[in-house]
Amino acid sequence: MAAAAGVKISWKGPLLHITIKEDEDIILNCSFGTDITGHRIEWKKDDMDVFYFDFRREDPTVEDPKFKDRVSSFSEDLKSGDASIKIKGAKVSDSGKYTCLHINEPGKAPVHQRLIELTVGEFIFVVGHLSTKKIRIDFYSLIRTYLSTGG
């Protein structure tokens, strides 16, 4: 998976960590490798409903009003198992743990799930060095600050 400029991606066990700048668009990938048309796909943020495709319905549903008009799917890709969503203009408040669940029958437990931790903020890079007569230390640091615009 290639990362766009300003996007940091890392793995820790089954959890994918993504860090982006505020106001950037991000695609949260979720793919199951099989046709999922007619199945239920649920996206949750910190266990709260965000977005879902219901069984055999044409239109996906955005549950959380904070995501209204900012979350979209790639419903034409359901046949290839792609349940990814795109969040437009990410806000600091969008930071959290996202879960993508695949449920193939009503009332049944999820068959598959994907965990993504999204961090939205601003990056500040610090480069420099400290030196004395005996020692020189070069350092490079990434400092993440969170700037909120009231969202």
Output the pLDDT for position 11: 46
Q: Which residues pair with 61 in a beta bridge?
A: 52
Report d(CA 82, CA 86) in Å as an integer: 12
Across 14-23, 43-52, 84-93, the highest mean pLDDT is recorded for 84-93
Contacts 24+ apart (CB under 8 A), 102-106: 102/32, 102/36, 102/39, 102/40, 102/41, 103/39, 103/40, 103/41, 103/42, 104/36, 104/39, 104/40, 106/40, 106/55
| Domain range annotation of the chain | 8-145
Task: Using a cut of 0.85, tell me whether the model's pTM lies above it.
Answer: no
Per-residue confidence band for 105, with pLDDT thresholds at 50, 70 and 90: confident
By CB atoms closer than 10 A (0-12, 13-18, 19+), residue 73 is buried
- Are the C-beta atoms of 46 and 99 separated by less than 8 Å? no
Output the pLDDT for position 146: 45
Please tell me the class of the 8-145 domain. Answer: mainly beta
**pLDDT averaged over the chain?**
74
Helices (H), the chain: none
User: What b-and-e string marks burial along 6-43, b requiring 16 or more CB atoms within 10 Å of the CB?
Assistant: eeeeeeeeeebebbbbbeeebebebbbeeebeebbbbb
